[in-house]
């Protein structure tokens, strides 16, 4: 266990250093950037060690694994981010336990999340996930994230829901494209989203291999897993 603690401490130290360097290069303060440590596929014991090392935010991408881990770790006072694809029949239960849902990409999810949040009488922070696929490059299959044109209607629906708070946007850089150019598009999308919704200031972008580029494009939240916890097991 203490060997694992040392491993996680070293990974965290390295990632925090990379965040500082990237923030400074972008003329930003490192404190503006929230590190969400993605603990999917790793056990609750790792979450506990991370909390003891000062981690405040964790990310999970699958139900029910996320809810089970949260239940084991509810005493730690962490903020739980749900970052995975959401099926509409599971959205209510995810809304009943997550603190932040980063992957809202269609209208159908909004009512269900709101119902789940009501059950717990706890407001849920919401990010709209936007697709960064270049126009015309990929069909609907396999793509996650709303089209940019769908964001205003989605934003309206989240703002109208009593227990949801619209916080901003989330995206994943598409495979096969330089992350810097994808995140530049995201930065523009966020700027235009902000003109109508000035409170939606969060921008969640960047993973282990590309978070420096995301910080350069204005990310306020980076989602980092393998650079801290090690390679995930490849089986599903």
Which residues would be at the binding site for ligand PLP (CB under 6 A)? 38, 40, 61, 83, 172, 207-208, 223-227
3-class secondary-structure state, position 222: strand
- In the complex, minimum distance from the CB of residue 227 to ligand PLP, in angstroms, rounded to a whole number: 6
Closest CB to ligand PLP among residues 16, 40: 40
3-class secondary-structure state, position 209: coil
- In the complex, minimum distance from the CB of residue 226 to ligand PLP, in angstroms, rounded to a whole number: 3
Contact at 8 Å (CB) between 181 and 197? Answer: no
Closest CB to ligand PLP among residues 38, 189: 38
Q: Crossing angle for the helix pair 151-160 and 179-196, nearest 10 degrees?
A: 50
Closest CB to ligand PLP among residues 163, 218: 218
- In the complex, minimum distance from the CB of residue 222 to ligand PLP, in angstroms, rounded to a whole number: 9
- In the complex, minimum distance from the CB of residue 200 to ligand PLP, in angstroms, rounded to a whole number: 19
Q: How far apart are CA 118 and CA 218, in angstroms?
A: 32
Contact at 8 Å (CB) between 133 and 143? Answer: yes
Closest CB to ligand PLP among residues 159, 227: 227
Contact at 8 Å (CB) between 92 and 114? Answer: no
In the 8-state DSSP scheme, what is residue 56? -
- In the complex, minimum distance from the CB of residue 224 to ligand PLP, in angstroms, rounded to a whole number: 5
Residue closest to 102 by CA, chosen among 121, 119, 79: 79
Q: Of all residues in this chain, which one has the CB nearest to ligand PLP in the complex?
A: 225
Q: Residue 16: count other Cβ atoms within 10 Å of its Cβ.
A: 16
The residue to which tokens 């109508």 are assigned: 196
Closest CB to ligand PLP among residues 163, 219: 219
């Amino acid at each position: 266990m203490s060997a694992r603690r040392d491993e996680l401490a070293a990974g965290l130290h390295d990632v925090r250093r990379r965040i500082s360097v990237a923030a400074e290069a972008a003329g930003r303060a490192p404190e503006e950037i929230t590190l969400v440590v993605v603990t999917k596929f790793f056990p609750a014991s790792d979450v506990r060690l991370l909390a003891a090392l000062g981690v405040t935010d964790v990310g999970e991408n699958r139900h029910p694994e996320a809810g089970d881990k949260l239940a084991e770790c509810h005493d730690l006072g962490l903020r739980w981010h749900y970052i995975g694809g959401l099926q509409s029949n599971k959205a209510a239960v995810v809304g009943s336990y997550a603190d932040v849902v980063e992957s809202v990409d269609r209208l159908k999810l909004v009512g269900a999340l709101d119902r789940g949040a009501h059950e717990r009488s706890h407001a849920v922070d919401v990010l709209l996930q936007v697709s960064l696929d270049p126009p015309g490059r990929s069909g609907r299959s396999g793509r996650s994230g709303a089209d940019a044109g769908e964001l205003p209607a989605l934003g309206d629906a989240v703002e109208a829901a009593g227990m949801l708070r619209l916080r901003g946007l989330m995206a994943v850089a598409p495979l096969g494209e330089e992350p810097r150019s994808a995140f530049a598009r995201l930065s523009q999308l966020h700027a235009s989203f902000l003109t109508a919704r000035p409170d939606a200031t969060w921008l969640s972008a960047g993973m282990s291999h590309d978070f420096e580029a995301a910080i350069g494009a204005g990310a306020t939240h980076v989602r980092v897993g393998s650079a801290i916890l090690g390679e995930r097991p490849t089986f599903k």
